[in-house]
Amino acid sequence: MTVPSKTDHVDVLIVGAGPAGLMMAAWMATCGIKTRIVDKRGTKIFNGQADGLQCRTLEILDSFGIAERAWKEANHMLEICFWNPDETGAIRRSGRIPDTIPGVSRFQQVVLHQGRIERFFLDYIESKSPIRVERGVLPTKLEFDESLAEDSDAYPITVNLRHLSEEEATPKQASTAANGSCVQDGLFRSNLAADDTAELLRTSELNAKANTEEVVKAKYVLGADGAHSWVRKELGFSLVGDSTDYIWGVLDIVPITDFPDIRSRCAIHSANSGSVMVIPRENKLVRLYIQMTTTEKIGDGGSRADRSKITPETILASAQKILAPYKLSYRKLDWWTAYQIGQRVGTNFSAKERIFLAGDAVHTHSPKAGQGMNISMQDAYNLGWKVSSVIKGLSNRSILKSYERERSGIAHALIQFDHKFSRLFSGRPAKDVMDEEGISLEEFKDAFEKGNLFASGTAVDYEASKIVAKSPEATNGANGVSAPASLEGSKTTPAVTSTQSLASNVKVGMRIPSTKILNQSDARPWHLQERLPSNGTWRILLFVGDVSISEQKQKMETLCKSLSGSNSFLKRFTPSGARYDSVFEVLTVHAAKRTDVSVLDFPEVLRPYDELDGWDYNTIFVDGESYHEGHGQIYETFGIDPKVGCAIVLRPDQYVSYVGPLEDYETVDKFFSDFMIPQN
């Protein structure tokens, strides 16, 4: 062993720079947390890999200001076509539905490869912070002093990092096309290629002298190191679940075909040759997903399928059989891979809320449910703001327990969805109504439509906790699936309860829906969500109703008196010297006629004054008709009565914490007092 050359102290160490790790780094960059992010690979990926972005993922990217790039570059998927065998056994189109259920989001599902998404994140992180992804860096040892877990000043985790030589950090690619030409394949990051972490560790041991090793002490660690997660293994956690592994062949080509729906997303079931999913992509590319074979359970690192049998040619041949009598060939092959996956969820998502796992490190599932990148990013999106508010000393550590509960609920729901979906997708189509083994078209379409809502990511419903104030009865857990009973210990209860009926369509535990509202001061329309960027700030939305009615105005003024009082939570939980809107932003949406009121009619706490910038014109909005873009009808859409109004508390990740009476200051104060730390 070499003597480590130096010891560094960081708040957060992220292992792995895939979608999950980069999302975490984006939060840390935004919130100004001292962070390092390392990846064993020398390069980022350039093509292939995961492809789609669901609506909720786009909303999240937009909250960091990077959805626009994705939206522009991506291929937009608007339609799904179903193809099934007819009476003669030939495939024919049996239905068409919109790919994204209209109205669930202001975005629709799009397709863009993972390499581009990673690029957008890297640019964002660089623009906001000194954080840079350190490539060719391999952690070799992890120590965790659990006795320090509750000490907020401690650095209880020690990680040794080895800097690899360039040669070590460059993945070996399987030689590919039969004719020997070098098409880039995905096998180097595919799990059909044996995991090489152990091998890298051995080589770097040998090369010890040539390399440098350092010690990093961290307050928090995130293992976002993919399905083979080294961090997970070091912690002794495992993935449990289904015993079957499915092998998928994935081919990215520019197709030459007479199949008419090649530019729509298609689910094609042949009578006897299996099924294929067609995903139209950017740059004239089309991705074909084909389930190749299933293998017996292989466990973590057990025997692998014979990958030499899977080539672009074999994948194409399967597709040709399924599509017959239509013809399919290609001249341009962009990428291909074989992908082996079981449906498994991690036993633990964290060790003492100090070391966390996110993304493929805690759940794997088939690409058909097509959720890998979405769910992985959303794990880290759930975690990032919590960790940073604890590090900044704004919130009590107890809020971190909600990560495991919220995300394991989702992971289990995802696996259930995937199970059902995989069976439907890979099952044989029913021959007739008496064919019980077969999958009927109706069953498939029905499941697909329901699945679509799940897949859009907008149906996520977090259970009651310190930061989600709903009654336990209102809780089904995420999408109706609760965190497993084994996690009972991490359950927390809210200090207050919501009055859901005051905003019947803004469900506590779900992300806030969005519709257009107008800026009171200049009449410009905005989507509500556009006013909720991810920067770590809690939001208090005051639906003050029709303030031309004196009763409503009175309620607003009473509330504002408490909010601006010297003992208000806005002051108690804001660090001295900072403005309260760096911790709590108060946004007002009224329902009076826009031209009957002015920004200056609203109490000052709703439009704070700044020595340099004057009054804030950015916080008062109206539910009204815009000049060019219609009327958002936010009160009606949200189920809020303009003669009653309400107050809504939003977490920094746009999920609804609380809905209650407009004039009820005390309950909101109590909600925050339960987990926020007094600053002065």
Ligand X SMILES: *[C@@H]1O[C@H](CO)[C@@H](O)[C@H](O)[C@H]1NC(C)=O
Ligand Y SMILES: Cc1cc2nc3c(=O)[nH]c(=O)nc-3n(C[C@H](O)[C@H](O)[C@H](O)COP(=O)(O)OP(=O)(O)OC[C@H]3O[C@@H](n4cnc5c(N)ncnc54)[C@H](O)[C@@H]3O)c2cc1C
124 is catalytic: no
* H/E run at residue 204: helix 197-206
- Asked whether the beta carbons of 378 and 60 are under 8 A apart, the reply is yes
The site string for ligand Y over 175-194 (x = CB under 6 A, - otherwise) reads -----------x--xxx---
Q: Which pair of tokens denotes residue 434? A: 């008496």
Check: CB of residue 186 under 8 Å from CB of residue 226: no
> Smallest Cα–Cα separation from 460: which of 419, 418, 529, 507?
507
Note if 281 is an active site residue: yes
Options 165, 314, 396, 633; binder of ligand X; rule CB under 6 A: 396
Locate the DSSP E strands across 150-231.
157-163, 212-223
One DSSP character per residue, 35-68 reads EEEEESSSS---S-S--EE-HHHHHHHHHTT-HH
Can you tell me which of 51, 185, 245, 406 binds ligand X, judged by CB under 6 A? 51
Q: Which of 19, 255, 367, 652 is catalytic?
A: 367
| Closest separation in Å from C-beta 187 to ligand Y | 7
Q: Which is nearer to ligand X, 52 or 429 (CB)?
A: 52
Q: Which residue has the tokens 């208000």?
A: 568
Q: Which of 348, 364, 402, 422 binds ligand X (CB under 6 A)?
A: 348
Rounded least distance, CB 382 to ligand X, Å: 16
- From 11, 39, 51, 653, active-site residue: 51
Asked if 418 and 343 count as a contact pair (C-beta separation under 8 A), the reply is: yes
C-alpha distances (whole Å) from 667 to each of 394, 571, 671 are 19, 16, 6
> Hey, CA dihedral for 642, 648, 654, 657, is it positive or negative?
negative
Give yes or no for residue 15 binding ligand Y (CB under 6 A): yes
Query: Closest separation between CB of residue 521 and ligand X, Å?
Result: 4
Shorter beta-carbon distance to ligand X: residue 51 or 664:
51
Give me the residue label for tokens 């020595």.
611
SS3 566: coil
Among 360, 418, 616, 653, binds ligand Y (CB under 6 A): 360
Identify the residue whose tokens are 């009654």: 471
CA distances from 82 to 427, 434, 449, 589 (A): 14, 21, 12, 43
Q: Note whether 535 binds ligand X by CB under 6 A.
A: yes
CA 194, distance to chain mean position in Å, is 27
Q: What would the x/- binding string for ligand Y be over residues 245 to 274, using CB under 6 A?
A: -----x------------------------
| Residue 537 binds to ligand X (criterion: CB under 6 A) | yes
**Residue 621 vs 638, nearer CB to ligand X:** 621
Alpha-carbon span 533 to 543, nearest angstrom: 19
Q: Which is nearer to ligand X, 228 or 392 (CB)?
A: 392
Smallest gap from residue 602 Cβ to ligand Y (A):
44
- The β-bridge partners of 211 are none
From 16, 18, 52, 226, residue interacting with ligand X (rule: CB under 6 A): 52
Q: Taking CB within 5 to 8 Å according to partner kind, which of ligand X, ligand Y, none is near residue 667? A: none
Nearer to ligand Y, 287 or 401 (CB): 287
Site string for ligand X, 112-131 (x = CB under 6 A): --------------------
- Closest CB to ligand X among residues 140, 537: 537
Measured from the CB of residue 10, what is the shortest distance to ligand Y in angstroms?
15
Considering only residues 320 to 339 of the shown chain, the ones binding ligand Y according to CB under 6 A are 337, 339
Per CB under 6 A, 179 contacts ligand X: yes
Handedness of CA 463, 242, 110, 26 (dihedral sign): positive
384 binds ligand Y (CB under 6 A): no
Give 207's DSSP letter. T
Amino acid identity at 413: A
Asked if 98 is an active-site residue, the reply is no
In one-letter notation, the amino acid at residue 195 is D
Q: Which of 220, 246, 289, 330 is catalytic?
A: 289
Q: Which does 338 bind (CB under 5 to 8 A by kind): ligand X, ligand Y, none?
A: none
Tell me how far, at minimum, the Cβ of 477 lies from ligand X, in Å.
16
Q: Is the Cα dihedral 386, 387, 393, 397 positive or negative?
A: positive
Among 50, 112, 159, 605, binds ligand X (CB under 6 A): 50
Q: Which of 196, 131, 197, 201 is nearest to 162 (CA)?
A: 201
CB 244 within 8 A of CB 297: yes
**Residue 370 lies near ligand X (rule: CB under 6 A):** yes
Helix (H) or strand (E) holding 435, with range, is: none
Any contact of residue 455 with ligand X (CB under 6 A)? Answer: yes
From the list ligand X, ligand Y, none, partner contacted by residue 536 (C-beta under 5 to 8 A by kind)? ligand X
End-to-end CA distance of the chain: 48
Please give the Cα distance from 588 to 590 (Å, whole number): 6
What would you measure as the largest C-alpha separation in the chain, in angstroms? 81
Helix (H/G/I), strand (E/B), else coil: 560: helix
User: Is 245 noted as a catalytic residue in this protein?
Assistant: no
Binding to ligand Y (CB under 6 A): which residues in 104-143? 114, 138-139
Which residue's CB is nearer to ligand X, number 374 or number 552? 374
Q: Which stretch binds ligand X (CB under 6 A): 40-48, 313-321, 369-377, 407-415?
A: 369-377
AA letter at 414: L
Interface with ligand X (CB under 6 A), residue total: 38
Q: How far is the CB of 398 from ligand X (least distance, A)?
A: 5
In sequence order, what are the residues at sequence separation of 6 or more whose Cβ sits closer than 8 angstroms to the Cβ of residue 172? 188
Helix H or strand E encompassing 173: none
Chain residues 200-259 in contact with ligand X, contact rule CB under 6 A: none
| Footprint of ligand Y (CB under 6 A) | 15-21, 38-41, 49-51, 114, 138-139, 186, 189-191, 197, 224-226, 230, 250, 337, 339, 359-361, 367, 370, 372-373, 376
Task: List residues with catalytic annotation.
Answer: 51, 281, 289, 367
| Footprint of ligand X (CB under 6 A) | 50-54, 109, 177, 179, 181, 333, 347-348, 351, 370-374, 396, 398, 455, 486, 519, 521-522, 524, 526, 531, 533, 535-537, 581-582, 585, 617-618, 677
